[in-house]
Chains A and B, each alone.
Chain A
Amino acid sequence: MAAIGGRVLLTVALLLGACGRHDRIVVGAKNFTESDLLAEIVAQQIERRLHVPVERRLHLGGTFVCHQAILAGQIDLYVEYSGTAFTAVLKHPPVVERDSVFHQVASEYSRQFGLRWLTAFGFDNTFAILVRAADAERYGLKAISDLSRVAPRWHAGFGYEFLERADGFAGLSRVYGLHFAAPPTAMDLGLTYRALADRKVDVIAGNSTDGQIAALHLVALEDDRHYFPPYEAAPVVRAGTLERYAGLARALEELGGKISDDEMRRLNAAADVEHRDIRTIAHEWLEAHVP
């Protein structure tokens, strides 16, 4: 009964744009800036190469929301991260065999879900365990292992997805032996940066390519025990959509390997720190890098 309720909720939430779907491609995005940016780049690339109308469903929700959406056909594609797919969706324990992750994810997605992973963009956006630069200096924090020293006196703050995911807080605290003063404060993901900067919490889990890390004087701690898998971003597309639109795969492959870690950080900063319009950023980047 509750399961049906959840499905209904999701369908209603997504129905808003799902009318007359045969003539357009729907691109989804997760609920953070980088995902919106990549979705916009993908969307504009499709428009300029295929001349097909593209509908954007940006900031849709977390990983699980987007996964349900693409399975249900409410969106045709979105950008996912290999590590996230590996642990959160396919529910494998985090693994150290970094090179095999992408390959394994691609083949299982194809087999289980009828979804295709196209070429990765070229950067690794792993979880960044962030602390204030001042604290890093005062307590000599360089790696996540160092955190276990101060954890008993500190408060952590995380978004809801990180708290629920298998590769999230539970595994992290176990592998690194982190025992905080109290259970972490849960809040909307977007607020965690502000909470850290305002000293409401002492450590958060951000993204390594976030634009605000430098701007807010934060430091990312090194994952010295290699707890997190690689998170390579790539477009994930429904097989049926690839078949229906000739040239879609080729258009998206053009984007493969074109964005480095630093490049992604620059794009994120343009949106989050300089507050520039996402459409403009995507447009300029495409003009410059994919003529």
Chain B
Amino acid sequence: MNLLSFYSRNSAELLGLTWQHVYLVVVSTGAAIVVGVPLGIALTRRPAWRAPVLGLANVFQTIPSLALLGFLIPFFGIGAWTAITALILYALLPIIRNTYTGIAGVDPAVREAGRGMGMTDGELLRLVELPLAAGVILAGIRVATVVSVGVATIGAAIGAGGLGVYIFRGVATVDDTLIMAGALPAALLALAADAVLGIAQRRLAWQR
């Protein structure tokens, strides 16, 4: 098949682009977790913040990917960091929202018993709320990751590299093999991420 011979001729480039793609997704999702999970936790402590924070994250999600990249170019220029910024903004909503829902969904009796027993807020969070919410939080991370793999392909339009490079080259030259050469591994990456995180999620989900 055309595709296989393309891959064997360009294996180094394929590996390079795949690595770039993985890098974009991992860095951005990691940053979104570092920012989003604490924010989600904060929302459970400060109800007044809920509407503005979730609202803002929702706004970012609604902006079409290419448009968001276009908005960011004047500030960050072209390249991987602009794409990573866009990916972080996209990943925030599912992560913040699921962190909030996961923790808020903990049985109020459990929380009251914990407080009544003399657990500090930190101990309650660490020993009770986060472990019980872990499954839901991970579901949010899973959604964010899978979406990121897809949106990262568009980053190639602004010089961010990744598997989208093959896709754009193929579209420019009407070369189906090239298009598939990029689309197929990207899809496989998304499926793999979904499967792996799905397993992790099932392990961590607790019966209430």
Contact of A200 among B78, B172, B173, B177 (CB under 8 A): B78
- Whether A194 contacts B78 in the complex (CB less than 8 A), given A186-B159, A188-B158, comes out as yes
Separation of A194 and B73 alpha carbons in the complex (Å) = 9
Q: Is the CB of A160 within 8 A of B168?
A: yes
In the assembled complex, 17 residue pairs joining A and B whose CB atoms fall closer than 8 Å, in A order, are: A5-B176, A5-B180, A6-B175, A6-B179, A64-B173, A65-B171, A65-B172, A67-B174, A159-B172, A161-B172, A185-B79, A187-B78, A187-B157, A187-B158, A188-B168, A191-B73, A194-B77
- Chain B residues, CB < 8 A from A97: none
- Whether A2 contacts B159 in the complex (CB less than 8 A), given A161-B172, A200-B77, A200-B79, comes out as no
Q: Is the CB of A2 within 8 A of B180?
A: yes
Q: Is B5 an interface residue (CB 8 A)?
A: no
Write the nearest CB–CB distance from B75 to chain A, whole angstroms. 11
Q: Is A157 an interface residue (CB 8 A)?
A: yes
Q: Is A260 an interface residue (CB 8 A)?
A: no
Q: Is B32 an interface residue (CB 8 A)?
A: no
Can you list the 6 inter-chain pairs with the closest CB atoms, starting with the nearest? A6-B176, A187-B159, A160-B172, A2-B176, A62-B172, A64-B174
- Chain B residues, CB < 8 A from A62: 172-173
Separation of A191 and B157 alpha carbons in the complex (Å) = 9
Contact of B173 among A2, A161, A185, A187 (CB under 8 A): A161
B39-75 CB mask vs A (1 if < 8 Å, else 0) is: 0000000000000000000000000000000000100
Q: Is A261 an interface residue (CB 8 A)?
A: no
Q: Is the CB of A185 within 8 A of B159?
A: yes
- Chain B residues, CB < 8 A from A64: 172-175
Q: Indicate the size class of the contact surface on chain B.
A: 20 to 34
Separation of A122 and B165 alpha carbons in the complex (Å) = 35
* B residues adjacent to A (C-beta < 8 A): 2-3, 73, 77-79, 156-159, 161, 165, 168-177, 179-180
A188-232 CB mask vs B (1 if < 8 Å, else 0) is: 100100110010100000000000000000000000000000000
Q: Is the CB of B78 within 8 A of A163?
A: no
A57-72 CB mask vs B (1 if < 8 Å, else 0) is: 0000110110110000
- Chain B residues, CB < 8 A from A9: 179
Q: Is A12 an interface residue (CB 8 A)?
A: no
Q: Is A246 an interface residue (CB 8 A)?
A: no
Write the nearest CB–CB distance from B158 to chain A, whole angstroms. 6
Q: Is the CB of A6 within 8 A of B174?
A: yes
Q: Indicate the size class of the contact surface on chain A.
A: 20 to 34
- Whether A200 contacts B159 in the complex (CB less than 8 A), given A163-B169, A195-B77, comes out as yes
- Chain B residues, CB < 8 A from A6: 170, 174-176, 179
Contact of B156 among A61, A68, A186, A198 (CB under 8 A): A186
Q: Is A3 an interface residue (CB 8 A)?
A: yes
- Chain A residues, CB < 8 A from B79: 185, 200
Q: Is the CB of A68 within 8 A of B174?
A: yes
Separation of A185 and B168 alpha carbons in the complex (Å) = 13
Separation of A81 and B174 alpha carbons in the complex (Å) = 18
Chain B residue with Cβ nearest A199? B77
Write the nearest CB–CB distance from B125 to chain A, whole angstroms. 43
Separation of A228 and B78 alpha carbons in the complex (Å) = 28
Separation of A180 and B64 alpha carbons in the complex (Å) = 35
Q: Is the CB of B171 within 8 A of A188?
A: no
Contact of B172 among A10, A61, A185, A195 (CB under 8 A): A61
Separation of A39 and B144 alpha carbons in the complex (Å) = 43
Known: A5-B176, A6-B176, A195-B159. 7 other contacts (CB 8 A): A2-B177, A6-B174, A64-B173, A185-B78, A187-B78, A191-B157, A200-B79
Write the nearest CB–CB distance from A67 to chain B, whole angstroms. 8
- Chain A residues, CB < 8 A from B174: 6, 10, 64-65, 67-68
Separation of A9 and B175 alpha carbons in the complex (Å) = 11
- Whether A186 contacts B158 in the complex (CB less than 8 A), given A6-B176, A164-B173, comes out as no
Contact of A2 among B2, B158, B171 (CB under 8 A): B2
